[in-house]
Amino acid sequence: MRIIKMILLVLLIIVVGIQFIRPVRNESEQVLLTDITMTFNMPDSVLDALKISCYNCHSNNTIYPFYANFQPVAWMLNNHVKNGKDKLNFSDFGAYSRRRQLSKLKSMVSQIQDDKMPLPSYTLFHKDAALTEKNKLSIINWANKTTDSLSSNQ
């Protein structure tokens, strides 16, 4: 029994200890000139859908849930945000080369069509982030239209 108590005590110390190691939060109120909304015309319906379903992982401003105050959850979240932003960051979209913008727009359409984004592991806990058919269509239409206008004025 004593050994079990010791192990539990050590575990407790670790769990409490790691609470003090906090990743820097991905938060910024600033809308950069490179933000996708500054670069392209975007109807409010598309912007709202992207904000609710994508911005937490693909922009410079994550809205954190309360449980993000606890480790190791915050580290996992941080990882998701880092990986998501590396691949696609709507706050930097305007600074991408035209080629990269075109490829990301195409990728957005296919990810949404295949129900790969938003990540299913995310919508499981964030039901509000799941895209409705209507939202999917408006994002896809917008992405296709933007692709056409980008390709036609080289």
Where along the sequence are the contacts to ligand HEC (CB under 6 A)?
53-54, 56-58, 80, 83-84, 87-88, 104, 107-108, 111-112, 117-119, 122, 129, 131
Q: How far is the CB of 102 from ligand HEC (least distance, A)?
A: 12
For the bound state, the minimum distance from the C-beta of residue 119 to ligand HEC, rounded and expressed in Å, comes to 5
Nearer of residues 41 and 110 to ligand HEC, judged by Cβ: 110
Please give the span between the terminal C-alpha atoms of the chain, in angstroms, as a whole number: 74
In this structure, what are the phi and psi dihedrals at residue 3, rounded to the nearest 5 degrees?
A: -65, -40
Residue placing its CB nearer to ligand HEC in the complex, 22 or 106: 106
**Cβ closest to ligand HEC, residue 4 vs residue 133:** 133
> At a CB cut-off of 8 Å and minimum separation 6, what does 76 contact?
none
Distances (CA, A) of 1 to 14, 15, 45, 90: 20, 21, 60, 55
